[in-house]
Structures are given as structure tokens and as C-alpha cells.
Structure 1
Amino acid sequence: MTSPTLIRRVGDASAHHFFGYYNKSNFDREDKRLLAQRVDRFTGDITGKEKATLGYFDLEANDQFHAIGQTTTWNWQMGSQLQWVGNSNRIIYNARTDSSDRDTPYPDFCSKLHDLDNGETRTLPLPVYVLSPDGHYALSVNYSRFMVTHKTIGYPASHQEPQLEKAPADDGIYRMDIKSGDYQLILSLAQLRAFDPRPSMDKAIHWITHLEANPSGSRFLFIHRWTERVEDETCFLHRLFTVNGDGSDLRLLECSDHPLPQLAADFDANAVGTFDYEKSEYQISHPMWKSDEEIIVWGPHDGAIHYHLYHDATGKVDIIGPDILTENGHMTYSRDGRWILSDTYPDANTNERILFLFDTHSQTRHDIGSFFTPPDLGKHNRCDLHPRWSHDNKRVCIDSVHEGTRQLYLADVSHILNDQSMARAANS
């Protein structure tokens, strides 16, 4: 069903603004400030020289934008991995280092920790992908590897792209302590390559993506991917894992290894549509924790692709909304575990994307809005909605380009949640 919802643009659109990915909220803990990147262009390829201004909108002061710094380490899909640090008044984001001779795993890149209370900025040695919910540690991966395997979420090197081995023992997932900056490699690509190996891995390049710590920070999930044909995302193969925060107790939850006719010499990779990969029946994507023990993901299981809920400890798998949630999206649960917030990729005919809520109690989908995206925006420069909850679950923030500029929008969804709660109470 369609539920009329108040949706407004954030700010005056005097510049282009976006946040990036769906896996973390850009609302501060009091839902008064909204993190964003400000850029001077609607679209365009990123070379590593373009600057993004980092800051936040004050939602209680007419959306005034407060700049806190700049970076050349960003992309259209994930930005600079700008995020709040736990419950603190600090912000972290990725940045480019001044020197390439640093003795660190990824010498071109670092992260900056900015304290809004005193204005001080501190440099940490590794770029971040995501922080634990309490802000105590960050998980880091190789953004230069993404430039080969998944350019949409990579950062161009400062000078020359590094040479990459296919599954080395010195690259993988690093854990970095936010207070001290100390870091260690806790899981390597070589270890993943050796864990329940498949013949399709033999000639493939490997990488890690979609890392996410559970609410307590005790375990995190990630997707292990590999391919022989990096230019064609429909040739990506996937495995969903969870692991302890120190890299121990590795668990394989799902593997979508399958034959790849696309590897034939006469296959035309240019014939693959922009969103064909996201709609593949073998895709494992967008995993998120529902609780410390449950993970929702779009992916195949037992020969069928759905929104699946995995139980980490037991391996049990449930289908969520089997006849309603029928296509890939960026999904997260509300704090009470009742509501799923998600979206769709552009419709092939209308180029519209749908933002919606799904009530797991009544098995009802509530469409919040439909948002146009130009079909020629491209794969690397596209603007997914990437919906993100406010902490009180009353509002949703999205990125969108439906008005001809790249901006953040807020949707008030409190009436949908309240109406359904009242209806349920009346029927009980």
C-alpha cells in the first residue's frame, strides 16, 4: 500500500550534498544533526583530486550547514565513510596522506578523527570501512583493491595504483583501535582463499566488502568475493561470513558459487545493464545485523533468492516477506525489530526507485515515495537512495537526484508506525 508521507529536502540546494551508504545512520544520537558531504558537481568520474567538504546540517537551525574539513578520499557510493564515533561528539572520515613512504598497509590513505567539542582533529594510520557501534574499534580494508575489483567503492591512488596479488597473506581485514591507533591484520585473503576452497577461486582475484559489526561489537559479518572477470559484476562470486572481533571463530553462512558462462571468450561485457548485477539470482548483498545473532541479507539459499534472515549460531535460515520483498534493496531493521526499511533499484522502464517500510508483524509493505533517477547517470556515479533511520525511528534520510541535483531528503514515517501499532492494539 502507498502511505502519504511528508518528504522534504535538507538545506537550500546551493551545492550538491550526499551521505553515501545505508549501513550507518548519519543522524547524531539526538537526531538533531545530519552528516553530509558537500561537493561542487552533480556527477563525474573521481580521480582522487576532487575535494569534498565534510560537515553536518543543523536540523534545529534551518538546516544550516557546518563544515568541519575536506578530503579527496571519497566516491559517489560510500562517500568518505563519514560517520559518528559511538555515542560521542566525534566524527571520523577517510583522508589522503601527504606521503606515500609511510610504513602502513595502505600508505596513500588514513582516517581523520574530528572532535566537535574542541575542534581538534587527529590522524589515524588506516582508512576505515566501519566502526563498532560503541566506537572502540574500526575495521579497515584495501580501497586500492576495490579500484581493480569494484571501482564504485574504491579510492584512486595518489600517484600510481599498487600491484595486487590475487589472495595475499598480508592483505585482508585490519582491526584498528580508535583510542591508540594500533592495528593488526586479523583475517587475510589467503586465509579466506584456503577456507573451504572452490575450483572457481584458482585463477580469481579476491576481496572483502560489506563489513558490519553486530550491536555489541563482539562479532562482525562480511562478504568474501572473487572473480576472473572484474569488468563484469555478474561474474562475481560470493560468500557470507561472520567472525569474532579478533578474527577467531570464522563461520560460513552462505556460498553462491555457480558456473559462469560469461567467462567464454566471446562474451560481451558491454551488453550487461547497469543494474543487472544487483538483480542477479546469485547475488549476495547488503547484509545487516538485526540483533547480535541474526542477519538479514538479499541472497540465494536452497535454490531461491529472497530477503533471508540467518541465525548466526545455528545456521537456520528464514525467508522474510517471500511474496512481497521480491527484489534487492538496502535494508535495515528498526530498533524494536518489527520494521524493515528498504528501497528498490530503478525500474527498467520508468527509472523510478521506491522507498518503503515492511511491517514484519502484519506482513504489509508501505510505499513511502517514488524517486526518479536519470538513466544515463552511470554505474560508478549513480545515486542509490540508501535509506537510513533516525535513532528514534521517526524519520528516514535518503540521498536522491530526482530534482536534478544531488541532495539529502527527510521522510517523516512516524504516522505509519503509529497507525499500525494502534491497529494492532485494536485487533488484539
Structure 2
Amino acid sequence: MRRRTFLQTAACGLAGAVLSKNLKADEFPPIRAITQGPHYHWFGYYDKFEFDATNRYVLSNQVDFEHRSPVPGDVINVGMVDLQDGDRWIELGQSNAWGWQQGCMLQWRPGSKSEVIWNDREGDQFVCRTLDVSTGAKRTIPSTVYTLSPDGSFGLTPDFSRIQTMRPGYGYAGLPDRYGDELAPKDSGVFHVDMATGQQKLLLSLHELAQIPYRGAKLENVWQWFNHLLISPDSQRFIVLHRWKKRDPATGGPTGNFATRMITASVNGGDVFVLDPSGETSHFVWRDPEHVCMWTKPEGKPAGFYLFKDRTDEVTPVGPRLMTQNGHNTYLPEHPDWILNDTYPDKTRLQHPYLYNLKTDRRMELGAFYSPPQYNGEWRCDNHPRASRDGRMVVIDSPHGGNGRQLYLIDVSKIIES
């Protein structure tokens, strides 16, 4: 592989820290910045299509400030980078419904070569915009969308106002929680969204999930919400994380850390199953229609990545020797023996995106990127690595270049071919 670029050197030089333990300075894969200042750019979450079907266009959010929470009047631009035309920025629209960790759910619609969707706010309602970047055709769907089915025909969404109340940074500012005085409301939950008609239907309510015992006891006197939805590869089932916080006896509001359990259900809302009852579920991805890879701490086992078989109690460790830290995990498209992952900043504030090979138990570092201390809490900048459709390129969000959060393209083709 070619020697490191300036940006890779800066990744470690800014921190005054050592290079990755696994690779020498000239062994990191090639990288380049594909967005520039003075604006800041990021994509957000890691489980959506950022690359179009041709792997030419890369989606991004654009904002002109950092290091504070969004307020209702803060509007961001959404656009795409043309990798074959000097990384040219192409503006697509704007959003007034976004957060630092997941942006505005900007993503390419599966099953379409040129349609993009993102969430926005219109008056007193959160909506979803759709845009065909080839024809310019636009639509507005009267519902947010969190995740899309593999064929793009339907989406699922939680209640973003509820999320904003419970965990700022993952919901949207601007509209109140309609059920803000209810611990587990019957009308807040997971909604099915028909992408052709825009029709929304409640599939699973917080009240319904509250009836399922946790560690043998009913969930009472806790504030509850849903987050992090993902539809199975065969479009038959979905995952949602059920979360809750204790009720403060003095103020009545939510307080302390949250607990989490993973729920799976059929896409019509039935056949509900508590896949991970530990209370420790974190990042996850479907491996196939029957298996989910997640970071958690199953009862009697150490924290780590595990493969769960849906609707069973079968649990198998994944990468226990080398995948020892929580991160944002996906399987590399067209190369299912590789897991793409990252780490949170270490003691020297370096973040480490990497590829892990399941067959050879081999971990290949993609770089060591410095995250300045002001990137923390709600407005931290996780790498959230996302792969191209062919699995040969990876894009990360990172502030290591000294000009705020930007998008960086990493060529991993030689790693997966080795």
C-alpha cells in the first residue's frame, strides 16, 4: 500500500500519540478528505446507504456550527459528494429535523438508483422528504422514517419527540412530546410507513412492551422509549431497542442511566420476542434473516460482541480476542467474512476504525484518528464507518484534520483482496 497521506499523519500527530499497534506508519490504507471547510460535514449513523448504487455519490449533512445542541431554528443542508468529479459538493435540500448522532436519517432508498430520503420539519409536524436526484422529482411523506425495508417499499419510525425528551441528540428539537406526562403511552411506539402512500400505522406501543417483565418484574415507575430500528434482510422482522430510565422521586422526570433490551417482531407488529433481555444491548446489525450480531453483556458472560439467533436462546461470541471494545458494527457488503467496526476515543483520544476477518481471526486497522476533547457527549463525532455497496471503500466522520468534522474516504480494496 502507498505511504500515508498528510491527513493520516495528522491523525496521530495532532494527538502526540503512537501509531496503531498492529500497523506501521506506511501500512494504513489510502485515505482522502472528500469534504472541506468552512462548513462542517458528517453523515451520522452507520446502518444506512450513504453510497449510491454506482458507488459514485456519497451523501452528507452540512452545518455551519459545532459543539452545542440543535435548537428549533437550526437548519442544515443535505447534499452529496461526486467522487468522480473532484469531490464536488452537490446540494440536495435542507432539514430542520436532525441531531448530531444520526443526522436527519439521510439515505439512499433501497430498490431505487437515484432516490434519496431525509427527515424534516414542516410547521407542527415532522415529515420525510424524498428526492430523485436524476429527475428532480420531490415528494413529502407526512411521517418521519428511521429505516427502510431492503426493497424500499416501506419504512419504520419511532417517535422522535419522545426520543428527544429522553435522550437529546437522538431525537429532534422543535415539537413537544405529546405524551410527555405518560411513562409508557399507548399511542407512542414503532410505526409502519408506506413509502408509496405515506400512510402511517402503529405497530408496537410502549404500553404493550411495558407489560413484558424485565428480570421477572413488571416495568413500573420508569420512563420508556424506543430507538434504533432495523428491518431484517428478508423484510419479515425488525429490531427495536426498548429503553427506560428511572423516575426521579423529587421531580418526577427521567433520571440516571438507561437500561436497554433488544426486541424483535414481525413487520406487522406481532410475534414479539425479547432477543436480548440483559438490559445491556448496544450496537447491532442483522447478519442474515435469522441472526443478529450485537455488543452486549449476556447473563453470566463478559461484555463483547455476540451472535444471537432470533427467537431462540442461542448465543455465540464474535471476535472475542480482537473485537474487545464496543463499536459501530456492520458486515462488509459482498464480503460477509469481514466485519467493519470502530472504537470510541482511547486514552490518547484516538479512534480506530478497522476490519475484522471472521475466518482468519485477523484485525486490520484503517487508521488512528484524533478526536479533540471538545467533541464529547451529545455532539461527539464517532467514526461510524460506512461501506460502499461493493465493500471496497469506507467513509468515516472525523474531526482529526483540524477543520472540524469532515468526511474521509478510505480505500480498503487491497485489504479485502489479501
Q: Verify: 1:86 aligned to 2:110, yes or no.
A: yes
What amino acid is the match of 2:278? S
Spell out structure 1 runs of 4+ moving beyond 6 A: 230-234
The secondary structure found in structure 2 opposite 1:201 is coil
Give per-residue Cα distances to partners, 1:220-250, cap 9 Å, x unaligned: 1111111116999862111111111111111
- Cα distance in 2 for residues equivalent to 1:317 and 1:369: 31
- 3-state secondary structure, aligned to 1:153: coil
Q: State which of 257, 262, 267 in structure 2 corresponds to 1:235.
A: 257
Q: Distance in 2 between matches of 1:157 and 1:243?
A: 30
| Residue matched to 1:417 | 416
Is the contact between residue 29 and residue 87 of structure 1 (CA under 8 Å) also seen in structure 2?
A: no
Among 288, 291, 294, the alignment partner of 2:288 is: 291
CA displacement at 1:162 relative to structure 2? 3.8
- Name the residue aligned to 1:178: 195
What one-letter code is carried by the residue in structure 2 that aligns with 1:329? G
Runs of at least 5 residues in structure 2 that lack an aligned partner in the other structure = 1-21
Alpha-carbon contact 2:246-2:255 (below 8 Å) kept: no
Q: 1:244-287: CA deviations, max 9, x gaps? A: 11111111111124xxxxxxxxxxxxxxxxxxxxxxxxx31111
SS state at 2:297 partner: strand
Aligned residue pair count:
384
The correspondence for 1:13, drawn from 13, 37, 58, is 37
Tell me if 1:132 matches 2:152.
no
Match of 2:318 in 1: 320
One-letter amino acid of the counterpart of residue 171, structure 2: G
Normalised TM-score (structure 2): 0.88
- Is the partner of 2:204 in helix, strand or coil? strand
Asked if residue 308 in structure 1 is aligned to residue 302 in structure 2, the reply is: no
Q: 2:98 aligns with which of 49, 71, 74?
A: 74
Who is 1:406 aligned against?
405
1:24 maps to what in 2?
48
Q: Is the CA contact 1:210–1:287 (under 8 Å) kept in the aligned structure 2?
A: no
- Is the 1:344–1:354 Cα contact (8 Å) retained in structure 2? yes
Native 8 Å contact 2:179 2:188 kept in 1:
no
Return the alpha-carbon distance in structure 1 between the equivalents of residues 276 and 409 of structure 2. 35
Maintained 8 Å contact 1:345/1:353? yes
For residue 120 of structure 2, the aligned residue among 76, 95, 104 is 95
Summarize the Cα distance change of 1:375–1:234 in structure 2 as closer, same or farther, 3 Å threshold: farther
Cα offsets for 1:284-335 (capped at 9, x unmatched): 1111101111110000113221100111143311101112111100000123
Deviation at 1:61, TM superposition (A): 0.8
Which digits, 9 at most, give the CA deviation of each residue in 1:325-374, with x for residues without a partner?
11100000123320010000111x20111111101011011111011111
Residue of structure 1 equivalent to 2:228: 210
Q: Gaps (5+ residues) in structure 1?
A: 101-107, 258-282, 420-428
TM-score by length of 1: 0.86
The 1:227/1:199 distance shift into structure 2, 3 A limit, reads farther
1:91-120 Cα offsets, whole Å, 9 max, x none, are: 11101012x3xxxxxxx3111111112212
Q: Which residue of 2 aligns with 1:120?
A: 137
2:277 corresponds in structure 1 to 255
Distance verdict in 2 for CA 1:194–1:232, change over 3 Å: closer
Shift of residue 133, structure 1, vs aligned partner: 1.7
Name the structure 1 match of 2:386: 388
Match of 1:59 in 2: 83
Give the one of 169, 185, 190 matched to 1:168: 185
Alignment equivalent of 2:351, drawn from 341, 353, 356: 353
Q: Give the AA of the match of 1:97.
A: E
Amino acid at match of 1:235: N
> Residue 24 of structure 1: CA displacement?
1.2
